Structure 1
């Protein structure tokens, strides 16, 4: 069986600080290419029955103006729904925004997932370490689902030692990206890495 850590290189990660002094944001982006048609990927990320198989149960209405709740996670409101290319929601609060973009590439699809929050909330680019690893697991879970490698109960799967090792590796990957971005001081990155390990990979071994 494939080691999930090998999947780290399949995703591209980015952290930027943008906007003006009145509305500066930290934007955390994960991108991955899937060998699946854009219509299939769109269905996988917007159909509650499929979301429950690789992400989590989602209740509510996934349409513009609709409110939703992810079981055991955040809720919000759908602010954009443009099938099969663009889906935008608030995530746990009106200033926390997740944007999903799907771009066809022949018979494949590139997914871009951006999570942006005000700098005042994130503190610095080191804030990427509080959300990036979680989105990495989601991007991975979607890849497995689209390949027909079902994870069973996503919440139970996320608690396995295999995913903990993946999380530890992706925390290192995000830390490298944040350091290269110049959006955080070294001590901020070190503190965020420690917090991310405690949250996402407390028992990771090897």
Structure 2
């Protein structure tokens, strides 16, 4: 089984800002080296048959200009696709639009994956929840992907909700929250503000809010 804490520690997280035509945006980036070849990782993250095996059921057309919909979650439009290196798409959820990009690069027999999420976030919401609001969700997604790609297997989407409510799952969320707190401080957020936001986000993810 994939070790959830080791998987969490393998992810590098950075937080930043970007000026878009539509105004200032927040940027969260997760990067990890996966122990699988480039073509295998590309197929896992772009195949409508495989994505439900590690993330969520998906419908639509997974091609340039196509619309997709993750069951009970975000949908959007594929804006760019450069097989097997990268794709970019809108991420539309709760009446808001943000943008994701996945970049892959072969590395020492494995694959370096970098996931970037860019979103307009109000100062009030950022102060309230910080980067962990999206970051913890992506951490769980990467755990699912690593489990799917690993020969020994790991946590499946069907097991995910129950596992996250277990003591091991709660440790995973607490450690992930701490990692995003550290990334926020590294980006220049004062420690008390970053800590308060991380605590609120963790409470929301664990049902303690």
Q: Same fold (TM over 0.5)?
A: yes
Matches within 5 A, 1:5-154: 5-19=5-19, 23-92=23-92, 95-120=97-122, 123-124=125-126, 127-148=130-151, 149-152=153-156, 154=157
- For structure 1, the 5+ residue unaligned runs are none
Aligned to 1:63, the other structure's residue is in SS state: coil
Distance 1:20 1:134, change over 3 A: closer
The CA RMSD over aligned residues, in Å, is 2.4
Distance 1:102 1:199, change over 3 A: same
Give CA-to-partner distance per residue, 1:85-142, whole Å, 9 cap, x none. Answer: 1111111167400110001114211000000112437854853110001101111211
Q: How many residues align?
A: 201
- For structure 2, the 5+ residue unaligned runs are none
Q: Tell me if the contact between 1:37 and 1:109 (Cα under 8 Å) persists in the aligned partners.
A: yes
Distance 1:54 1:74, change over 3 A: same
Distance 1:46 1:122, change over 3 A: farther
Aligned to 1:19, the other structure's residue is in SS state: strand
2:171 is the alignment partner of 1:168: no
TM-score, with normalisation over the residues of structure 2? 0.85
Cα distance, 1:155 vs structure 2? 4.7
Q: After superposing the two structures, state which structure 1 stretch, 5-14 or 26-35, moved more.
A: 5-14
TM-score, with normalisation over the residues of structure 1? 0.86
Distance 1:196 1:124, change over 3 A: closer
Q: After superposing the two structures, state which structure 1 stretch, 187-196 or 22-31, moved more.
A: 187-196
